[in-house]
Structure 1
Amino acid sequence: MKLTILGCYAATPRTITNPTAQVLEIRNRMFLIDCGEGTQVQLRKNKLKFSKINHIFISHLHGDHFYGLVGLISTFMLLNRQTDLHVYGPKGIKEIVLLQLRYSNSYTGYNLFFHELTATVSEVVYEDEKVVVKTIPLKHRIYTNGFLFQEKIGDRKLNVDAVQEYQIETCYFQKIKNGSDITLDDGTVISNSILTFDPIKPKSYAFCSDTMYHESIIPIIQGCDVLYHETTFLETEADKAEKTMHSTAKQAAMIANKAKVSQLILGHYSTRYANIECFKQEAELIFPNVILADDGKIFEFE
């Protein structure tokens, strides 16, 4: 599981910081999460292949989270994209994007699908044989969702020494990896636990931006491997966080602690702060495993 931060600052883009966008690579899938201004430039800087992005998840319709979307969609057209593109986001995103394309006399040479979200409870919005994505209803000034990306449990791992010892033919290997026992020609049943090892523990990643402190998300993200949680303000500006429906570093750490996640990534910093290290220092008083997002940072989770 690999996470590339394209942008992680609040409000407006600057010459040294970018608004929210990140790419999650999990089980050979590449998901774009939010698409603030400058996202396609950041994709190029980080040498990420445009063609591998088939699914884009937009948390909410504040500009610093989706103003780069129509530009990226248009660039896909200029690159002669043929693969379908799916966009998941709040109701209204289809109208906004198609209006811009229509009045600029633009078009896409590929199929563009919009999956508009309106539910106020967690729901599955994407699923294939390896990954499932669920919404995390957040509490912000407008309708907002985070997203929980979960690997599905993979096949069991073949114990090569054991299958050779029992002279089991290769045609049975997939059946064994699926969990089946094997009966030999003499009627002996070989337990699957002898022939395989447990599959690798599936990983999970929760993206939560933007939101005020909201404990109702805890059951959804309980025990996840990595939580990205917004921290626009420090606790000294808790009144501003409450007024704008954002979170402080302390509050993000409290969520991580109560949800018993393994790792907390902080992001969506207000640009009023000269040094983002202060966010880490505040959060670590509550939750020990804190790392800071920053533009261009790459995290690999084994």
Structure 2
Amino acid sequence: MRFELTTLGTGAALPARGRYPTAQLLNVGERLYLIDCGEGTQERLRTVGANFNRISRVLISHLHGDHYLGLMGLISSMHLMGRRTELHVYGPPELGDIVHMQLKASGTWLRYPLHLHHTRPESGAEVFTDDRVQVTALALKHRIPCTGFVFREHPRPRPLLRDQVHRIPHFQRNAVKAGEDLHLEDGTVVPNAELTQDPPAQRAYAYCSDTAYDPGLVQYLRGVDLLYHEATFTEQLSARARET
């Protein structure tokens, strides 16, 4: 199953030639999650060939413009493209006010259900769980409330050994894939280890943007396969910043 990150934009608050404000697209088993949505995100989605209507959830870390000003355009484009499937958007409470105000001001009635969810900048708090991933929050140190996100894949079923499949009745196969032993009609118990092999390791991605240094985050980031993190120098390191 795919677990693939596409970086759509890595720019900071000011425009930069050849770079776009923050946005990322995570593909987990052909389900798309958009992380932040700065200006120009739609253009970048077009460039990488992503289908707008396959984006199931959008997560906004905080309400600085370079992280969310592309959202209303994307919501509108999905409407114009005839989207019918629901869209879930996660972000600070004020984001809902902004979206509703924009829709009201433009006289727009969306063709699809739009669900706005408030995130809590509390490390370890669950943001959502679906059949692909569990997403938890990271409380980041920024000038305004800011939330990072950790995506963790659910455990996958244990693959059945080909030469053992014939021993397992169809109605017990899901249980065996879930790790249970096989119980036969004559009372025999066949250990799961004789019937299955270990599944691929669970994968995890952490989005840790716009934050001052915080060692308290380490416990929530440990073990992830990929970490995207803030790399801005503080004023105390301005000389080092110029060197690099």
Cα pair distance change 1:196/1:90, threshold 3 Å: same
Letter in 1 for 2:227: L
Alignment of 1:243-254 (within 5 A): none
- Residues of 1 paired with 2:237 and 2:206: CA distance? 21
Contact 1:177 1:196 in 2 (8 A): yes
Amino acid at match of 1:41: E
1:79 aligns with 2:81: yes
SS at 2:39 equivalent: coil
Aligned length: 241
- Note the 1:29-40 alignment, pairs <5 A: 29-40=31-42
Deviation at 1:85, TM superposition (A): 0.8
Q: Match of 1:21?
A: 23
Residue 14 of structure 2 corresponds to 12
Task: Tell me how far 1:122 sits from its aligned partner.
Answer: 2.9
Match of 1:288 in 2: none
Give the 5 Å matches for 1:280-295.
none
CA distance in 2, matches of 1:111, 1:241: 47
Query: Is the CA contact 1:158–1:196 (under 8 Å) kept in the aligned structure 2?
Result: yes
Contact 1:10/1:64 (<8 A) preserved: yes
Measure, in 1, the Cα distance between the counterparts of 2:120 and 2:227. 23
Residue 118 of structure 1 and its aligned partner are, at CA, apart by 3.8
Shift of 1:149: 0.3
| Residue of structure 1 equivalent to 2:223 | 223
Calculate the TM-score normalised by the size of structure 2.
0.92
CA separation in 2, counterparts of 1:157 and 1:17?
43
* Number of the residue aligned with 1:264: none
For residue 151 of structure 1, what is the amino acid of its counterpart?
E
Question: What TM-score do you get using the length of structure 1 for normalisation?
Answer: 0.75
Amino acid at match of 1:175: A
- Write out per-residue CA displacement over residues 60-94 of structure 1, whole angstroms, 9 at most, x where no aligned residue: 00000000000000101100111111110012001
CA distance in 1, matches of 2:66, 2:129: 27
- What is the deviation of 1:119? 4.3
- 1:211-251 deviations in whole A, cap 9, x for unaligned? 11111111111111111002134xxxx31679xxxxx99xx
Work out the CA distance in 2 between the residues paired with 1:240 and 1:62.
24
Q: Hey, what does 1:290 align to over in structure 2?
A: none
* Kept in 1: contact 2:121–2:138 (CA 8 A): no
CA contact (8 A) 2:121 2:146 kept: no
> Aligned residue for 1:161?
163
C-alpha displacement of 1:186: 4.0
Report matched runs for 1:86-235 at 5 Å: 86-164=88-166, 167-233=167-233
Q: 1:170, CA displacement in angstroms?
A: 3.2
Q: Structure 1 117/180 Cα, relative in aligned 2: closer, same or farther at 3 Å?
A: closer
Q: Give the match's secondary structure for 2:216.
A: helix
Instruction: For residues 143-180 of structure 1, give each alpha carbon's deviation from its aligned partner in whole angstroms, at most 9, with x where no partner exists.
Output: 0000000011111111111233xx33333322211222
Letter in 1 for 2:212: M
SS of corresponding position for 2:224: coil
Distance in 2 between residues matched to 1:47 and 1:216, nearest whole Å = 38
- State the 4+ residue runs in structure 1 displaced beyond 4 angstroms: none
Q: In structure 1, how many angstroms separate the alpha carbons of the residues matched to 2:108 and 2:207?
A: 32
Task: Give the RMSD, CA atoms, in angstroms.
Answer: 2.1
Alpha-carbon separation, structure 2, partners of 1:118 and 1:189: 47
5+ residue gaps, structure 2, are: none
Percent identity, aligned pairs only, is: 44
Task: Quote the Cα distance in structure 2 between the aligned partners of 1:36 and 1:232.
Answer: 18
Q: CA deviation at 1:110?
A: 1.0
